[in-house]
Structure 1
Amino acid sequence: MFAHNDRLALLVSGLGPLGRMPYAQGTWGSAAAVLIAPLVFFPLPLWARIVLLVAVFVVGAKAADRTEKILGRKDPGHVVIDELVGQWITLLPFAAPGPFELIAGFFLFRAFDILKPPPVRASEHWLPGGYGVMIDDVLAGIYAGLCLVILAWLRGA
């Protein structure tokens, strides 16, 4: 898919310029995912959000795989499309989250993505190449989403 267009692979895997930020690229990618979700993710019905997540996962994995080859590094900081998928998985249970859910979801996902509790860290090796880059953020998103649902329930939302 990206074999002949390295610039496109870098653009997609880095979510445009975010992958080239001088520091905390993953945090910038997560923040962007939260900011654009009300425009492109939440308006969709649940089934369409799931289809979108699968499509972004597959395209992101292929772009991440090519980016690893271009940059000569495993899971380079440049790749932030995985943060978008993980962040949106965190928010998936909510049709129209309020500010509390958006902010808490952001911090919960970042915590699980950085700390990588079992089996999140191990999952990076379950799949080859770009799919391995993406899968740990899927699991971090599932953990964060479960915690966010519990927090929302405790708040009575």
Structure 2
Amino acid sequence: MALSAQQRRVVLGHPAGWIASGLGTGLSPVAPGTVGSAAALLPYLWLRELPLLAYLGVVLAVFALGVLVSRTLCRRCAVEDPGFIVIDEFVGQWLALALAPPGWVWILVGFLLFRLFDVWKPWPVSWADREVEGGLGVMLDDALAGVLAAFALAGVVWAARAAGFPAILA
């Protein structure tokens, strides 16, 4: 859905809009969720260097900030979960990659798994998408998709190691 001129002014004219839109990546006219997920990989490269508890602390803080800015933007634009809000993709992507082994192969697999669960919306992602409203609803379904993707990625890593794939993949 294209943004109206009024919505674009609201997003670009308020700090919450810049945060919620992933510094404007959510304004992509094509696949803003995928663009937001890809943009989330840049800060992930820094996050992955943190100890796990610090990593999860940052993710939790961004989740809480996302609830606030998403609520603000949903109200200001009078739209429930507008596509230009991609801070939820950042959190979901970071959760999906929280335990990923080093290497671009695993980043790519984690990215694809997160996008799959975010689009497919299996339970409980579908429940959160349907039943939880406001800023929490915007954030929760993607966080759950990220957790499911993390479990799936762990399974793929385990299978690759069990199958004896080369060390670069396992």
Question: Do they fold alike, i.e. is TM over 0.5?
Answer: yes
Segments of structure 2 that go 5 or more residues without pairing to the other structure are 1-12, 162-169
Which residue in the other structure is 2:167 paired with? none
Partner of 2:73: 67
Given candidates 1, 15, 22, the residue that maps to 1:15 is 22
The Cα of 1:13 is off from its aligned counterpart by 0.3
- Render the CA deviation track for 1:41-62: whole Å, top value 9, x for unaligned: 1111001011101100000110
d(CA) in 2 for partners of 1:34, 1:149: 18
CA deviation after TM superposition for structure 1 residue 126, in Å? 4.8
Q: Deviation at 1:99?
A: 1.0
Report the 3-state secondary structure (helix = DSSP H, G, I; strand = E; otherwise coil) of the residue aligned with 1:110.
Answer: helix
Detail structure 1 runs of 4+ shifted over 2 Å in the superposition. 124-128
Q: Which runs of 5+ in 1 are unaligned?
A: 1-5
1:26 to 15, 30, 33: 33
Aligned position for 1:3: none
2:88 counterpart (74, 82, 85): 82
CA distance in 1, matches of 2:108, 2:72: 32
Q: RCO (CA 8 Å, sep 6+): is it higher in 1 or 2?
A: 1
**Distance in 2 (alpha carbons) for counterparts of 1:48 and 1:8:** 25
Q: Which amino acid is the alignment partner of residue 60 of structure 2?
A: V
1:47 to 53, 60, 76: 53
1:114 correspondence with 2:114: no
- SS of residue in 2 equivalent to 1:154: helix
| Structure showing greater Rg | 2
| C-alpha RMSD over aligned residues | 1.5
* Pairing 1:151–2:156 present: yes
Q: Distance between the aligned counterparts of 1:127 and 1:44, measured in 2?
A: 31
The TM-score normalised by the length of structure 2 is: 0.84
Please report how far the alpha carbon of residue 125 of structure 1 lies from its aligned counterpart in structure 2 after TM superposition: 4.7
Residue 23 (structure 1) shift = 1.6
Provide the identity percentage: 39
One of 71, 76, 99 as aligned partner of 1:93:
99
- Give the SS at the match of 1:117: coil
CA distance in 2, matches of 1:18, 1:138: 19
